[in-house]
Amino acid sequence: MNNFFKVLHKSKKSKARIGEIKTSHGIIKTPSFVAVGTKGTVKALTPELVKQIGTQAAFVNTYHLVTHPGAEIIEKAGGIHKYSRLNMPLMSDSGGFQVFSLAREQRKADIRGEEQPLVVKISDDGVKFRSAFDGKLIEFTPEKSMEYQRKIGADINMAFDECTYYPATHEYAEKAMERTHEWLTQCIKFKEDSSSLKQYLYGVIQGATYKDLRKKSAEFVVSQNTPGVAIGGVSVGESKKEMRDQVKWVADYLPKDRPVHLLGVGQVDDIIDLVKYGIDTFDCVEPTRLARMGVIYQVRGEIDITKNIYKNNLEKVDVDCNCYVCTYFTKSYLHHLFKQREILGYTLATYHNLWTMEKLFERLRDLISKDLV
């Protein structure tokens, strides 16, 4: 475990720190962005392009992979790294976020009197449902989540958690938090029983928008001594201020010697503040999802490349950037590709946005090393 994470420098100015997460598929220099590769592919990029960008780690979703192609075939292929050729440190989530979203939709449908037979059973054990893809019966419990994640084979796994909907009552949020804690102990036990030495478990702090619950959850989760800790449920509908508050409340409780991941958050304007609270890694769909909509990050702001003003603009895609895309292609060409719905447009935009994230984190690490953040 000590070998898993090393703090190389601690800022004198904040809780920000420079570190290294060491996995058998490589090292993540932290703070770091974790590119989203939900279904075992960082959308629109070959694994070689992901490497070329300098992306250090990617995030896959257990729910999606279990639904298709199934954890069994991924295990049989030698794990997700080999199956997808994403040969870098990978994280997987627990599936909790998605299966409880599914359950929530079920409850809403029940209230509306609609039939939605996908969710078969929700209990303190977990969720049982039918795959929307092929009708296969799928169950998510702490043990099942661990087992799926073991088969998928990502380097870092998340404990099964319930991510509460927003807004949740204090009563419900507390119940969900306690369930999450109970599940964490089950996940830890499962990990101890199985000998997946090369996979590292992160406990997940929940507690919704309540300060008392967030603190309680942080204390409990951190006390469990999992190799890493994640903060969950802070990006599901709250305002930016609420989101930052939820991280701020737990900042004092976060482990000094273990890495901290913030689940599903990583908008450019949040990152610096969140790093100051001690966050080491972030996964977020924004750079890649926005890219496919034509939103191109700029060192200064962002632009919508689909706008007609770019049709005849022969400047590089971002005048302040030197990535592959900005070296060889113009705004006009990228605009053309987007207007014509050419696949290459999504590829180039994704490349550039992820590159910009890497550069942002490089600068951030540099600033921390100089105690400027």
Residues in contact with its own copies by CB under 8 A are: 39-41, 43-47, 49, 64, 68-70, 73, 76-77, 83-85, 133, 311-312, 314, 328-330, 332-333, 335-337, 339-340, 342-344, 346-348
Q: Which is nearer to its own copies, 209 or 347 (CB)?
A: 347
What is the nearest approach in angstroms of its own copies to the Cβ of residue 99? 18
Name the catalytic one among 93, 155, 161, 270: 93
Alpha-helix runs per DSSP H in the chain: 47-53, 62-67, 71-76, 80-84, 96-111, 142-152, 170-193, 211-223, 240-251, 268-276, 286-292, 324-328, 331-339, 343-369
What is the nearest approach in angstroms of its own copies to the Cβ of residue 163? 23
CA-based nearest residue to 177, from 144, 122, 214: 214
Q: Are strands 58-60 and 32-36 parallel, antiparallel or unpaired?
A: parallel
Q: Which is nearer to its own copies, 195 or 340 (CB)?
A: 340
Instruction: Please state, as a whole number, how many other Cβ atoms lie within 10 Å of the Cβ of residue 98.
Output: 20
What is the nearest approach in angstroms of its own copies to the Cβ of residue 335? 7
CA-based nearest residue to 56, from 324, 327, 283, 274: 283
What is the nearest approach in angstroms of its own copies to the Cβ of residue 132? 12
What is the nearest approach in angstroms of its own copies to the Cβ of residue 326? 12
Q: Evaluate whether 282 touches 34 at the Cβ level (below 8 Å).
A: yes
Name the catalytic one among 155, 161, 280, 283: 283
Q: Which is nearer to its own copies, 160 or 333 (CB)?
A: 333
Q: Which is nearer to its own copies, 330 or 369 (CB)?
A: 330
Q: Which is nearer to its own copies, 82 or 370 (CB)?
A: 82
What's the CA gap between 368 and 362, in Å, rounded?
A: 10
CA-based nearest residue to 372, from 297, 275, 247: 275
The residues near 353 (Cβ < 8 Å, ≥ 6 apart) are: 287, 288, 290, 291, 295, 296, 297
DSSP-assigned letter for residue 297: E
CA-based nearest residue to 345, from 294, 298, 307: 294
Q: Is 269 a catalytic residue?
A: no
Q: Which is nearer to its own copies, 65 or 250 (CB)?
A: 65
Backbone angles phi, psi at 355, to 5 degrees: -60, -45
SS3 261: strand
Q: Is 283 a catalytic residue?
A: yes
What is the nearest approach in angstroms of its own copies to the Cβ of residue 258? 33
Catalytic residues: 93, 283
